[in-house]
Structure 1
Amino acid sequence: MRAQGRAPTTDGAASATDTRNALDLAARPLGGFEAATAGFTLFAAPLSRVLDVELSALEAQGRGQIVSSPRVVTADRVKAIVEQGSELPYQAKVGNGVSGVQFRRATLKLEVEPQITPDGRVVLDLDVTKDSIGEPTAAGPAIHTKHVQTRVEVENGGTVAIGGIYEQLNRDDVTRVPLLGKIPVLGALFRHRARRDQRSELVVFITPTVVGTQCETSGAGDAEAGKRGPEAGGAGSTRQPLCQ
């Protein structure tokens, strides 16, 4: 199985959703698990093929940015982990009052465990973590963490888009003329203050694709090969598995 993810961020610009290409659905409860609470959108397999084009168009228009585009191959019911980021140093006590430098990770991390159903669909256990560097402290920079964990079922080749991870940025920028901008009262004439409010949302797109073949070595197949005799499989040869 190949799980392929994209994580674009949007800058909050108003946009219209084409209801012909996207369908908002609630997660289907599976095995006693409740439906996912994080908002997500399911795309059918034919629509997933044009998803890369749509994301590239958003990035070209300045309305989004593709943060990462990892690909990973894993087996059925085997967890795969994709992680990208950096390690930040901070001061910590290591014992007897002695302080030392240790490191903490600030990463974009995706954990996915797929399960292929008998009808060819894929159940995904997803765990997405997005860390960002925060304000500096005496011990080191703070780390802001955003986390989404859910389970969803999607068709082979379809795409699930998980959202709901928002980030609010409020910043005051001040530009001024050197020396003149610091003059009391009159300095306001030589200063410019701008407030920047930006809201972004992290959206993770995951497209599971079943690769390879599914083989079976049934007793019925062995019996059929025996009926055909040596001409079918060769005298003394071992029958190869029947593959779909």
Structure 2
Amino acid sequence: MEVTPIIQRSNKIRLLLKISQNTPGIALVQGGSEHLSIDKQEIMTEVTIHDGETLMLGGIFQQKQQQHAAKIPFLSSLPLLGILFSHKRDQHSRHELVIFITPKLI
């Protein structure tokens, strides 16, 4: 997060904000080596508030979809019966990044 404060008249502060959230992406294979990509979300905004007021920012969301598989070795690989000894589950989650900022003049 980058914050650039600009002090104005009447105890007001203008904030130039650049907020980013990086998360691991998919693995990329190139030339025999594996590299991890990075997913980046970024917002830029400008706000003017009074000295000592609290600003709440939200709006950067992260969604995840995961598949989990559980199985009993050997029994899960049996033809026709293997499905009785394994379980697959999909998990979906959504998170929001919320930031509170309280600038104070010193």
Identity %: 31
RMSD of aligned residue pairs (Cα, Å)? 1.0
* 1:122 equivalent in structure 2: 13
* 2:72 equivalent in structure 1: 177
Alpha-carbon shift at residue 161 of structure 1 (Å): 1.4
TM-score for both structures, normalised by structure 1: 0.41
Number of equivalences: 102
User: Which portions of structure 1, spanning 4 or more consecutive aligned residues, are displaced by more than 2 angstroms?
Assistant: none
SS at match of 1:157: coil
SS at match of 1:171: strand
SS at match of 1:188: helix
* 1:192 equivalent in structure 2: 87
Pick the aligned partner of 1:156 from 51, 55, 62. Answer: 51
Give the Cα–Cα distance (whole angstroms) in 1 for the partners of residues 25 and 74 of structure 2.
31
Q: Which runs of 5+ in 1 are unaligned?
A: 1-109, 212-244
Structure 1 or 2: more strand by fraction = 2
TM-score for both structures, normalised by structure 2: 0.90
Give the Cα–Cα distance (whole angstroms) in 1 for the partners of residues 10 and 45 of structure 2.
21
Give the Cα–Cα distance (whole angstroms) in 1 for the partners of residues 72 and 52 of structure 2.
57
**AA aligned opposite 1:124:** L
Alpha-carbon shift at residue 201 of structure 1 (Å): 0.8
Greater Cα radius of gyration, structure 1 or 2: 1
Alpha-carbon shift at residue 157 of structure 1 (Å): 1.2
Structure 1 or 2: more helix by fraction = 1
**AA aligned opposite 2:13:** V
Q: Which runs of 5+ in 2 are unaligned?
A: none
